Structure 1
Amino acid sequence: MIDALHIAASGLTSQQEQIDVISNNLANMQTPGYKRSRVAFADVSSLTPAQAKEGLGVNEVGAGTRIANTAPVMVDGTMQETNNPWDLAIQGAGFFEVENGDGDRLYTRAGALKIDGDGYLATASGQRLAQGIQVPADATHIAIGTNGEIRGQLAGDKETTVIGQIELATFAAPEGLRSVGGNQFAATDTSGDATVGKPGDAGFGTVTQGFIEGSNVDLVSEMSTLVLAQRAYQLNARVLQASDQILDTINNLNR
């Protein structure tokens, strides 16, 4: 009966984390480029790995549940038109590679770009693209192709000229990326190292100017999952209460 208390408690803890993840997903429904997170559960063994290897406790009852991992779901979000020439939406595989203040490389799908004070192409939060694209101050008629090529008309020129090339980064297992906040991810051993290339090349998505990628959170799906998580939480709470009542009964037995 003591084991039942621990098992029910593990269920409560896991479902609480599930609800927290759903809450974060719903809170980011309007965040451009946000990728919803998904919780994966795992059974808790009551045996040590050595005992299991020896074949002990074949009929042993498990010890509850735990969160195996929380991973992003890398499904494209909806395209949202903005008509801003520096807004870019990625269609297909790939991330914009940016560099933070410490010189670390991070990855994002949020394509609301801007020109910073020094003329470099940067994200809305001010982190420059890793390609170090500097846009001339007199450049006009900016056009960005689906292959990431940036063209603009410079002062005194009649024709447009190439002023930069946006590249994308892909991963062998993008679900293994680690969220670092700010709608950005960092590479891990699970995701593998980044492979950088031009949009439209084999294995890379394309970019669309004047659009941003919306969140891939689906309200109906999240609400359905929330209801299931709440019911599972309630059931575990009832098991905990029932176990406590049985223990109380045992303690009050007359000898």
Structure 2
Amino acid sequence: MNNSMINSSVTMRSLQQKLDMVANNLANLNTVGYKRQDASFQDVLTSVKQQPGGFEKQGRLSPLGYNQGWGARLVQAQLNMAQGSLKPTGESLDLAIEGDGLFEINNVVRDANNSLTTQTAWTRNGSFQLSQSTDPADPDLFLMTKDGQYVMGTDDSPIRIPANSSVNIESDGTIFASDDADKSAAPIEVGQIKMVRVLRPQLLQQLGDNMYSVPANAANREDILQTVDTGNNAVDPISVRQGFLEQSNVTLADEMTDLLQVQKAFQLNSRAVSSSDTMMGIANNLRNG
């Protein structure tokens, strides 16, 4: 097959993947806590073509031979953890993370045997709410996401909030509850939100609904997501802002620029495929004639 046709067809597939990523970024322009995806490309294969000795002329400075490429492929889609802008909401349960951190949540899913099981996941979406326990005898409320996942505490348990309480959340995630019925009572500490620092964003898996997980074959989770504590939060601090939500870090102008570049590159490669097909058709007609 024509080398230019192979080169162009392989590259077009990678450009289609890049186009899908740009479309996904644009679709999540207003998604709370969304992190845009960046694409990395590399050559599939590059070989050196040797030229006949007749090309070697006196005074020729360039060496014999030339590089023959075979297209490009998408190596990985990496999360861009750049900070998004913070939007004030005035809601006490709206939280935004400053820094390369994620909230840890507990997601209930069905396994291969269709049995309910818990799955640990992480998110930047800090739009939380208080929900009743499934046990009618339990008077406490639980801090949960809008989709019903439990927000985990540093003790690896769901965070409980006493009923009829207002909450105040410190920058380190510590939660204090004040009794609405007794304004003179001192606030009590009810827990601390567990957060993790993203060390290797390229290894995170996207679960959908703005949630991430660690691959099952990962040797050590701490190499990808480091649990935030007082000992490691001094150099690269991660903090919580109560009453704010982090907006998507997608910039419309940048995505539109990438979109135009991908479209032009795809158009160029499609024309190369068309030209290669035309030349092969001409060659076949000459031989048959």
Per the normalisation by structure 1, the TM-score is: 0.89
Q: Radius of gyration: which is bigger? A: 2
Matched, 1:210 2:243: yes
In the TM superposition, what is the alpha-carbon distance from 1:205 to its structure 2 partner?
0.8
Query: Helix, strand or coil for the counterpart of 1:253?
Result: helix
Residue aligning to 2:50: none
Amino acid at match of 2:35: K
1:8–1:185 Cα change, 3 Å: same
8 A contact 1:98–1:127 mirrored in 2: yes
Residue aligning to 1:76: 83
In 1: Cα distance, 2:259 partner to 2:76 partner: 18
List per-residue Cα deviations over 1:150-186 (Å, max 9, x = no partner): 1121244522111221121113212321111110111
In 2: Cα distance, 1:127 partner to 1:236 partner: 46
Matched, 1:166 2:193: yes
Matched, 1:104 2:119: yes
The sequence identity of aligned pairs, in percent, is: 32
List per-residue Cα deviations over 1:104-138 (Å, max 9, x = no partner): 21111000011122211111211111221011112
Number of aligned positions between the proteins: 244
- The residue correspondences of 1:234-253 to structure 2 (distance < 5 A) are 234-253=267-286
List per-residue Cα deviations over 1:30-87 (Å, max 9, x = no partner): 000000011111111167xxxxxxxxxx956222111111121111111011111000
Amino acid at match of 1:148: G
Residue aligning to 2:92: 85
8 A contact 1:115–1:121 mirrored in 2: yes
Residue aligning to 2:6: 6
Task: Structure 2 unaligned segments of length 5 or more: list them.
Answer: 48-64, 109-116, 134-140
Query: Helix, strand or coil for the counterpart of 2:275?
Result: helix
In 2: Cα distance, 1:231 partner to 1:201 partner: 45
In 1: Cα distance, 2:83 partner to 2:25 partner: 15
181-190 vs 219-228, greater mean Cα deviation: 181-190
Residue aligning to 1:62: 69
In 1: Cα distance, 2:23 partner to 2:199 partner: 29
Amino acid at match of 2:269: N
Match of 2:159 among 133, 136, 156: 133
In 1: Cα distance, 2:170 partner to 2:129 partner: 17
In 1: Cα distance, 2:243 partner to 2:24 partner: 28
8 A contact 1:105–1:130 mirrored in 2: no
Residue aligning to 2:233: 201
223-232 vs 120-129, greater mean Cα deviation: 120-129
In 1: Cα distance, 2:118 partner to 2:224 partner: 16
Task: Structure 1 unaligned segments of length 5 or more: list them.
Answer: 48-57
8 A contact 1:80–1:214 mirrored in 2: yes
Per the normalisation by structure 2, the TM-score is: 0.79
In 1: Cα distance, 2:191 partner to 2:199 partner: 27
Matched, 1:22 2:29: no
